[in-house]
Amino acid sequence: MLTQSTATLVAASTVFALASLGPACMLIYAQMALPESGWRQALWLPSILVIGVGVAWSTTLAVLSAFWGRDLQFVRTPKFGIGPRGGQWRGKVYAGGSPWGGVVELGLGVYCAWTAWLMGAQGHYSVVPFMLLYTAGFLTVGALTMLHAMPRPPGVLLLLIALCGATVPGAAAATEETGARALLAEGERWWTRSPDPANPVACATCHHDPAEARGWAAGFPKVKPLPPPHTRVMTFLQANAETVARHYRLPDPLRAATAITAYLTALGSDLPLSPGVSPPQPVFPERIRQLEASVGRGASEFSGRCGSCHQPTEVAPAARMFPRMSRGQPESLEAFLVGHRPSCRPLDWAGQETADVVAYLVSHLAGQPIGPRKDSP
């Protein structure tokens, strides 16, 4: 015989379970109804449930606003202020609102976590999964709300959102966005401050005008006139790494160069790419011919490494996604190419072959004056 308290608990748990099945079934059906969906999409259902629970506070306020007679018009706004087609979010600040809603959601998350601990300590284990779901939801959405409302989030909040992203699949996209913002901030620090206290001269000491630097990324890959016979085609990252190693004297310049490259690329993200050309400098025909030769070598390298699986016209647009944050670490296009096909002959991220492949990919983007356009090598 069940005691009255146990029977009540079983009844309450059954009601909660049945109430949870409805939304779960609806989400499963919605995922399966999408043209590109499949059972793999259902793996994201836990994250959807977590986020759905986390927005309970804001949803409650929206419902109450109907009773308060406020304006109910809903306008979907571009959160990064991207208006024209083809605009990019990189380098732009997320247009968040007030962080106070996030404070309430974090408080609710702590309350749910305390409740889960209390129920577990008293042996009411059937309630614990629901409380943990609400805990994850409120903490994730609360941290995101505060993060998006702050132009420069504090380190503690970044750590919290990173932990949420590591435990909640639904926060992966937000964590990536957070990482991108952190990468741009790191690049700005490297650009404006020298890591050597004895050498306070930083990149921005000489190149203090942002308008001067914002167009640099658009001109790469390009021929960098080094002392003979070292003149060669270089990517923007490779040029930055060489400069960082020479001026900052870093034993491994890759991370600093990647961050600086991301920062400078973001400054000129609205500019059209023009490899080999750096306005207002004159165009040197010989350098353009060397760049065209680099594109030809890159076509051959791409064909041998990637041509069996990828078309360059499909891969090329992804080149503009770099540098990016991947698994919590800065990643350049050059480093990605090095690790993409480990079974092939190894590439050097700072080498000429890598620059050739990048030049070939960039040549397939709109507005490039370098080399003949080919959909396939």
Q: Are 155 and 277 contained in the same domain?
A: no
Which range of residues forms the domain containing residue 287?
203-362
**269 domain residue, yes or no:** yes
Distance CA 290, CA 2 (A): 85
At 289-347, the pLDDT tens digits run 899 999 999 999 988 888 877 888 878 888 888 898 877 788 999 998 888 776 677 88
**358 domain residue, yes or no:** yes
* Per-residue pLDDT at 33: 63
**299 domain residue, yes or no:** yes
333: exposed, middle or buried (Cβ count in 10 Å: 0-12, 13-18, 19+): buried
| Cβ-based neighbour number of residue 120 at 10 Å | 14
Q: Are 266 and 186 in contact (CB under 8 A)?
A: no
Question: Of 135, 164, 193, which one is at a domain's C-terminal end?
Answer: 164
Of 304, 315, 302, 298, the residue nearest 356 (C-alpha): 298
Distance CA 243, CA 334 (A): 17
Q: Are 54 and 140 in contact (CB under 8 A)?
A: yes
Is the pLDDT at 129 greater than 70? The verdict is yes
**316 domain residue, yes or no:** yes
Q: Are 208 and 340 contained in the same domain?
A: yes
Q: Are 219 and 355 contained in the same domain?
A: yes
Of 280, 284, 273, the residue nearest 217 (C-alpha): 273
Residues 6+ apart with CB under 8 A from 83: none
% of the chain exceeding 90 in pLDDT: 15
Is the pLDDT at 261 greater than 90? The verdict is yes
